[in-house]
Amino acid sequence: MLKDITLGQYFPGVSVAHRLDPRTKLIILIGYIVALFSAKSWISYGVSFAFLASAIAVSGIPVKSIVRGMKPLVMILVFTGLLNLFFTGGETVLLSFWKVTITLEGLRRAIFMVLRILMLISGTFLLTYTTSPISLTDGLESLLSPLKKIHLPVHELSMMMCIALRFIPTLIEETDKIMSAQKARGANFETGKLLDRVKALVPILVPLFISAFRRADELATAMECRCYQGGDGRTKMKLLRLCRNDYFALLLTAALIAVVILLAGFSL
C-alpha cells in the first residue's frame, strides 16, 4: 500500500537530536556531506560512520526504520556499484573474463561509492525523521535570509516548501482512496500492456489533480482569511535560538571535517 511509504516522514520525539535547532541540523548535514565527499580512505569513512552512528544512537530512531527507507533505493545502489566495479581502470587486475575486467581499484571504488550513497541518505533521513517540516522550513528560511538582500523571495520559497511537505501524506491518502474507488468499478492497474497501464492511470490522475487544485484554492482562501500577506512584518511564534547543545554539535561537525580533510592531506 502507498501508505507504507516512510520516506522523509517525521517521527515525533524528545531526544537531543529532535531538540536541536533546525539550523544547526541543516549545517551539520551539509558539513557531514562535505566530509563524506572528502573521505578517500577506510579510516575517514570509518570516522564519518562513527559520526553517523552516534547521531542515530542519540536520536533514538530505530535502525530498522532507516533501513526500511532504503528499500526503494536498492536498484540505484546495485547499478552504481556494478558500473564502478566494471568500468574503473586500474593496475591490479583481480578477475578477467570475456571483455570484462575487474580491478582492485574498481572494487574499492564500487564499495566506496555504495557506502557514500548509503551514508548520505541515512544522514538525510535522520534530518527529516527528527525535524518536523515546519521547523525545517523555519530553519531554511532563517539560513537563507541573507539572500533577501539580492531580492530572492526567501520567505515565499520556504512557505511553498512547507506547504508541499505538509500535503504529501494528504495526497498519498487521497490517491489510495481514489485507487480503491476505481478498483471497485473494475479498474485494473496491475496487469496489461504498458500502454494499457498508462491509460489506466487517467482515472486516478484526473480526480487527484482536481482535488489538489480544490485544496490549493481552499488553502489560499483560508490563509487570506487569516490576513496572510507574505513575509513582510510577519512574526514567529517559535523563535529559533541556539543553545549549548547546538554549539557542541557544530563543534563536533567541524572536528569531523577537519579530521577527514587532514587524513586526506596525508593521503590516508
Partner 1 sequence: MEPILQVENLHHIYSAGTPFEHIALEDVSFCAHRGEFIGIIGHTGSGKSTLVQHLNGLLKPTSGSVKLDGVDIWMDKETTRASRFRVGLVFQYPEYQLFEETVYKDIAFGPKNMGLSQEEVDRRVREAADLVGLTEEQLDVSPFDLSGGQKRRVAIAGVIAMEPEILILDEPTAGLDPEGRAEVLSNIENYRKAKNATIMMVSHSMNDAARLTDRLLVMSDSRLVMDGTPMEVFSRGQELLDMGLDIPDVTRVFLHLQKMGIPVKAVYTREQAVAELLRIKEAADA
Site residues (vs partner 1, CB under 8 A): 3-4, 62, 177-178, 180-188, 202-203, 206-207, 210-211
Which one, 14 or 239, has the nearer CB to partner 1? Answer: 14
- Closest to partner 1 by CB, 90 vs 207, is 207
80: left (phi over 0), alpha (psi -120 to 50) or beta: alpha
Distance CA 173, CA 212 (A): 12
Termini Cα distance of the chain: 46
Shortest distance, CB of residue 162 to partner 1, whole angstroms? 24
One-character DSSP codes across 118-135:
HHHHHHHHHHHHHS-HHH
Rounded CA separation 150/164 (Å): 25
Element (H, E) at 170: helix 154-184
Report helix, strand or coil for 254: helix
Segment (H or E) for 168: helix 154-184
* CA atoms of 164 and 157, how far apart (whole Å): 11
Q: Give the Cα separation of 189 and 86 in Å (integer).
A: 37
Least distance (Å) from partner 1 to the CB of residue 185? 4
Give me the least distance between CB of 93 and partner 1, in Å please.
Answer: 46
Instruction: Report the distance separating Cα 263 and Cα 44, nearest Å.
Output: 7
